[in-house]
Structure 1
Amino acid sequence: MTDDANRQLRLAIYVLLIAVSVGTIIGRIGQMSANHGKHPFMSANDRSRWATVRSLVDYGTFAIDDVIADRRWDSIDKVYHVGADGKRHYYSSKPPLMAVMLAGEYWVIKNGMGLSLGSYPFYVARIMLVITNVGLLLVMFASLIAMLERYGRSDWGRLFIFTTAAFGTFLTTFAITINNHLVAAVATMVAIDLGTRIWIDGKRDAWLFFGAGFAAAFAAANDLPALSLLGLLGLALLIKAPAKTLVAGVPGALLVAIASFGTTYWAHGSWKPPYAHRSDGPAIATLDVDAAAAELDQGEVPEPVRAKFAALDVQLSETPELQVREAGDRWVLDDPIVDRRWALQKVDNVIEVRTWDRWYDYADTYWRDGVKKGVDLGEQSRLTYLFHMLVGHHGVFSLTPIWILSVVGGVMLLRGDDRQWRDVTIMIATLTIVCVLFYTFRPLKDRNYGGVCSGFRWLFWLIPLWLVTLQPAADWCAKRRWACWLAALLLLISAASAAYPALNPWSHPWIYRYQEYLGWL
């Protein structure tokens, strides 16, 4: 066969694999339901995003109070703080950029088709999932094919890698639910595609730099650890072509940064995302310990406290609520009449009155100690956490052993003669190691394997990069029949893990379930 004929055949197989993958995903979206069919949303995570989308279009606000009044729409992934109207409201704890984009899509559906999320949640959600997630996968597949055709050295290797992308990773698993990880992974795929055209192929078109900057920043806006990709890729392009990077690449990244920070401020009145609001605000007054502490410990609001608030132009109601968090040391003053909350914290010999900035601390919060349960309690041992992250019940290599070949391929690239590919591999290895260490050394409350989900989702954005280092190993296997069979076995196990939670990716992996069955967890 001629090269052109081979290429045409490969393209036909790519299309066939895409059709099967996408068809399977659409079929799973068609079966989606949760809570015994009462709504189409599968977890607190995606329900939190959907609540914002509906609230923006149906009620014209980021506050989700009216939406979650129907308990079927409620979510533990929410925060509670003062809004632009001066009153406290519930908001999704998720970054609002994605919700704003999805709200635009929902607005078109609602006004063009007359379907609302309130009246027809299944229809609208399925339409939006097909448009959004299938559309994202098609973008990722297109970028991957472009890279395979540029850098692949064997037909078998190219098709093997594409089959892995279509069936052997958790990206297709999560394509049936709204989530930020798929978005970040697709943006990463585009960023590495455009970045290698510049770094490996020597292209200098301005649109490549703009696109790489935009895509890398968009990955970071949707998955914070991908900020490391933006930093390393930006540095690499700055070294390779400083002028083009500054003139075209930086504006692409800035456009995303403006959108990300702008929507955060629009939603919450703060430049900081919700997860950054977990501590007391600034001190606005001080109280004498001897004059206030004893009565505060008894759950009473003493006159000196009322006088201090009056001096701040705040007239407390007759019966504000006082919570004794730590006797003699910390109290929380909540006045539902004036709709405000304050922290009273003993510091040295005074009691500081601080503005309330603990957005996750509210009456029915799930995130308070003593309320959380299961994996959300956190893994006590960092070493155990690292083990399960890599080869345990949420393990990258135990659930999807195809990535073992990516490690092999990365070593081959590092030992190869092509310096530019060594640079790319070093960047991918650095990003992976930094991410793994970042999550390993998170505080206890964050060492929860991503909550109830079918894989270690916080590393999913790296999947396109691992597909890149898989290439040399796949090409090496292509020349050896036994190696092809071994690679196929690794892919089969990976595909089985990805297919196990086919109807709800917000469920524990099969290894975790089996260990529960054995009584090990």
Structure 2
Amino acid sequence: MKPTRVSRKRDDQMTDADRLRWAVYWLLLAICLGGAIGRIYAVTANHNRHPFLSANDRSRWATVRSLVDHQTFAIDEVIQDRYWDSIDKVYHLGPDGRYHYYSSKPPLMACVLAGEYWLIKNTVGIEISEHPYYVGRIILIVTNGLLLLGLLWPTILIVERYARSDFARIGIVATVAFGTFLTTYAVTINNHLVAATSVAIALYCGLRVWCDGRSEARYLLGAGFFAASAAVNDLPAFSFLAFLGLAMLIRRPIPTLLCGLPAAVIVLVLSVGSNYIAHQSWRPPYAHRADGPVLGAVEEKMHGAFDKNEVPAEVNDILAEHDVQLSDQAEVITRETGSRWVLLDRGIDRRYALQRTEDAIELRDWDNWYDYDTSYWKPGVKQGVDKGEASIPLYAFHVLIGHHGVLSLTPVWLLSILGLGMWLGDKGAFRQVAIFIVLLTAVCLLFYIFRPLKDRNYGGMTSGFRWAFWLIPMWLTAMIPVLDRWKNFVWGQRIFALLLLLSAASASYSALNPWVHPWIYNYFAYLGWLE
């Protein structure tokens, strides 16, 4: 397949068919954006206190409010209101030497949203704590409205350039407007819509370079900047950044080094820098799930004293070697009897881990940010899907065609698989594009399928397998050869319409709150097939 080599025509060059097609595009854009705005206005949390729908987005909103109202990334003051609290938080030492709660989400997005809130607060004069619906909905409409536009527009540009039939062009734009979970997530602040929009823009820029041989700076800048933006918002999308960067280097090495690489570095520096400012660590919060360095060890027989909540002198001696003097408020808290304890000193606001090994009990620095008294993420506390699926084959089944299935919930992606097969059997640039998409899809799905038990949870309480949403712009592109082939076949058009209808039904099932289980999961639960 070769690109059509035709960009959008000037109005005086457009045929009646072109004008009609673009009228349909504008209509689809209007319906998609209008529907999203309407649902944002309709959304309310169950407790009717604010339009924030889950622990996931409340975690980000708490940081936004804290940054503007309290000038800190710590969210202690904000979450005193239980309606603002979230399980998606960590607990660690702050720059003042005291322990504080922080959002576990990467802080870069919160910084951008805080800029919007700061502008609203300092121009209109309303605060999010007093008027969460006004402020929250304004930010949601502006942010997610722009993201949806940024998702649909490059999709239109891709199909206008590389699809050869109006059926394929309009069909794919209709799919992104109604048949995916990206529009479902437009009613909440989330990283998935940001990542997918970034992939769509970077993909268009990358196709112009790889398939058309273009070398203008705008395409390299766009590919680098938005591929990096996708990566910092969805971890597996680092594979997209790496593969796209390699492709750009192969096709246009000098422009990539001069334009694409610096653009990507800007985003990466902003992400890492904001994380360090927020947490005083180069590693993101989810990388702090284990104990820190070993400070020393005591004899195994000390476990009896620890079970009695006593602090032996030997522990004081070890900490004294590290210039730490415990106060009289120091105590030992049992985490696992005879195996693990926490040494907590509220007087100096310090904590250490005591972990039993084969022949000793190690005293370790504290680095498990998810281990605090009220943490949902401690062993034995998590519930439902958050416990993790013990069977990897069963998990893979549900990820692909089961209750959270990519194909069972959005069967329109069956056409993407067929399209990739057609491109792989072709020659030229689009065969390489197909290999690119197949590799990235495999990397993402395998990465999550083979995660440890605690992470095999389908993304938690979510209406779809959200960790794969960033791949959607590529799956849309892969539909091009199928719909081009079916343009003159009534049976093909009917199959596409049916698959799109089923996909749109899944997406609309949770249109007012994407942080719920999919309809298939709920149906399985109704039948008693789930524990």
Give me the whole-angstrom Cα distance separating, in 2, the residues matched to 1:114 and 1:281: 45
* Aligned twin of 1:195: 206
Bigger mean CA deviation after superposition, 85-94 or 292-301: 292-301
1:385 corresponds in structure 2 to 395
1:319-330 aligned at under 5 Å gives the runs: 319-330=329-340
Q: Which residue of 1 aligns with 2:468?
A: 459
Aligned to 2:123: 112
**Counterpart selection for 2:272 from 257, 261, 264:** 261
Q: Distance in 2 between matches of 1:247 and 1:67?
A: 44
**Deviation readout 1:126-148 (Å, 9 max, x if unpaired):** 10011000111111111111111
Return the offset for 1:317.
2.2
Worse-superposed segment, 207-216 or 278-287? 278-287
Amino acid at match of 2:169: R
The answer for the alignment partner of 1:497 in structure 2 is 506
Query: Unpaired segments of 5 or more residues in structure 2?
Result: 1-12
> Residue 305 of structure 2: SS of its match in structure 1?
helix
Measured in 1, the distance between the counterparts of 2:398 and 2:300 equals 48
Superposition pairs for residues 310-325 of structure 1, below 5 Å?
Answer: 310-325=320-335
1:294 aligned partner: 304
CA distance in 2: counterparts of 1:477 and 1:271, whole angstroms? 51
Question: CA separation in 2, counterparts of 1:179 and 1:7?
Answer: 36
8 A contact 1:209–1:248 mirrored in 2: yes
1:436 alignment counterpart: 445
- Between the two proteins, the alignment pairs up a number of residues equal to 519
The secondary structure found in structure 2 opposite 1:126 is helix
State the TM-score, normalizing by the size of structure 1.
0.97
Segment drifting more, 70-79 vs 105-114: 105-114
1:371 aligns with 2:371: no
- Identify the residue that residue 93 of structure 2 maps to in structure 1: 82
1:410 alignment counterpart = 420
Match of 2:454 among 445, 454, 466: 445
Does the alignment pair 1:427 with 2:436? yes
Separation of aligned partners in 1, 2:21 and 2:193: 26
In 2: Cα distance, 1:489 partner to 1:169 partner = 14
Q: Could you say what secondary structure the match of 2:372 adopts?
A: coil
| Cα drift, residue 477 of structure 1 | 1.7
1:477 and 1:487 in contact (8 A); partners too: no
User: Normalising by structure 2, what TM-score?
Assistant: 0.95
Match of 2:141 in 1: 130
Tell me the secondary structure at the aligned position of residue 478 of structure 1: coil
User: Structure 1 residue 380: deviation in Å?
Assistant: 0.9
Q: Distance in 2 between matches of 1:416 and 1:289?
A: 66
Identical columns (%): 57
My pick for the range that moved more, 30-39 or 55-64, is 30-39
**Quick one: distance in 2 between partners of 1:323 and 1:36?**
35
Cα shift at 1:207: 2.1
Whether the 8 Å CA contact 1:97–1:260 is kept in 2: the answer is: yes
- In structure 2, distance between residues paired with 1:513 and 1:268: 38
Kindly provide the CA deviation profile for residues 12-70 of structure 1, in whole angstroms up to 9, marking residues without a partner as x.
Answer: 11001111111111110001111231221100000000000000000000000000000
Q: Could you tell me whether the CA contact under 8 Å between 2:334 and 2:342 is conserved in 1? A: yes
Give RMSD over aligned pairs. 1.4
How far apart, in 1, do the equivalents of 2:357 and 2:393 lie? 36
**Which whole-Å deviations, capped at 9, do the CAs of 1:488-513 have from their partners, x for residues lacking one?**
00000000110011110000111111
For the 8 Å contact 1:278–1:358, the answer to whether it is kept is: yes
188, 195, 206: which one pairs with 1:177? 188
CA–CA separation in structure 1 for the residues paired with 2:365 and 2:416 = 50
What is the deviation of 1:157? 1.1
Q: Does structure 1 retain, via aligned residues, the 8 Å contact 2:147–2:194?
A: yes
- Structure 2 residue 388 is matched with structure 1 residue 399: no
Distance (whole Å) between structure 2 residues aligned to residue 189 and residue 216 of structure 1: 9
Quickly say closer, same or farther: Cα 1:283–1:497, change in 2 above 3 A. Answer: same
Distance in structure 1 (CA, Å) of the matches to 2:367 and 2:520: 39
**Aligned counterpart, 2:7:** none
Note the alpha carbon deviations across 1:162-186, whole angstroms, 9 max, x for none.
0001000000000010000000000
Asked whether the equivalents of residues 329 and 346 of structure 2 are also in contact (C-alpha less than 8 Å), the reply is: no
Are the equivalent residues in 1 in contact too, given 2:306–2:341 (CA < 8 A)? yes
Report which stretch shifted further, 3-12 or 39-48.
3-12
1:97 is aligned, of 105, 108, 115, to 108
Partner of 1:31: 42
Cα distance change of structure 1 residues 37 and 325 upon mapping to structure 2, 3 Å threshold: closer
The one-letter code sitting in structure 1 at the alignment partner of 2:437 is: I
**Aligned residue identity for 1:420:** A
- Residue pair 1:453, 1:509 contacting (<8 A) in 2 also: yes
Q: SS state of the match for residue 486, structure 2?
A: helix
Return the alpha-carbon distance in structure 1 between the equivalents of residues 17 and 282 of structure 2. 53
What is the match of residue 333 of structure 1? 343
Q: Shift in Å at residue 449 of structure 1?
A: 0.5
Counterpart of 2:444, as a letter, is: C
Q: Which amino acid aligns with 2:211?
A: I
Tell me by how many angstroms 1:5 deviates.
2.6
Cα distance in structure 1, aligned partners of 2:19 and 2:244: 33
Q: Distance in 1 between matches of 2:314 and 2:455?
A: 40
C-alpha distance after superposition, 1:158-213 (max 9, x if no partner): 00110001000000000010000000000000011000000001101122112101
Supply the distance in 2 between the matched residues of 1:286 and 1:503 (Cα, whole angstroms): 54
> Superposition pairs for residues 195-344 of structure 1, below 5 Å?
195-290=206-301, 292-344=302-354
